[in-house]
Amino acid sequence: MAESSYDYFFSGPHDAARHLIDSTVQAQGFALEAMPNGTTKAVRGNLATTLLFGGLAGKGFHVTLWLAYFVDDQGRLVARISRDLGTAAVKGGAIGASKAHSAFVDVATALGHAAAASAGHVEGGAPQR
């Protein structure tokens, strides 16, 4: 399935940037789970409710985002937020795809605002396709 992602580049202490990212995503209602491969799975909503009601699950619509961290050649922490474009559509049709897209944009926007408010940790973001 196709994937959509957004990269943020952080200068400064990597641990502080990761804490900022984690707390911002959690403030958007996502529970975080560290995965064995080093990525973080961010989940919001209820899968059973979503499978039962699809896009009509309301605030309970199940959304999964992925956070990956790596260091670029300039020593900056890169935080990549990504999502699978097709899964939400399978779970909730056009309404589900729209809900997942809105959640993705909300998290990316919140992250940009939080990073900008934290003494300029973020150097910029770049959408990836």
Are 8 and 112 within 8 A, CB to CB? yes
DSSP labels, 72-120 = -TTS-EEEEEEEETTHHHHHHHHHHHHHHHHHHHHHHHHHHHHHHHTTS
- What is the CATH code of the structural domain delimited by 3-121? 3.30.310.80
Record the pTM. Answer: 0.84
| C-alpha pair distances (Å), 40 with each of 37, 79, 80 | 9, 11, 10
Domain layout of the chain by residue ranges: 3-121
Judge residue 111's burial from the number of C-beta atoms within 10 Å of its C-beta, 0-12 exposed, 13-18 middle, 19 or more buried: buried
Q: pLDDT per position in the chain (129 positions), as tens?
A: 457 888 888 888 899 999 999 999 999 999 999 999 989 999 999 988 888 887 788 878 899 999 999 999 999 889 999 987 777 777 778 888 888 888 999 999 998 888 777 655 555 555 554
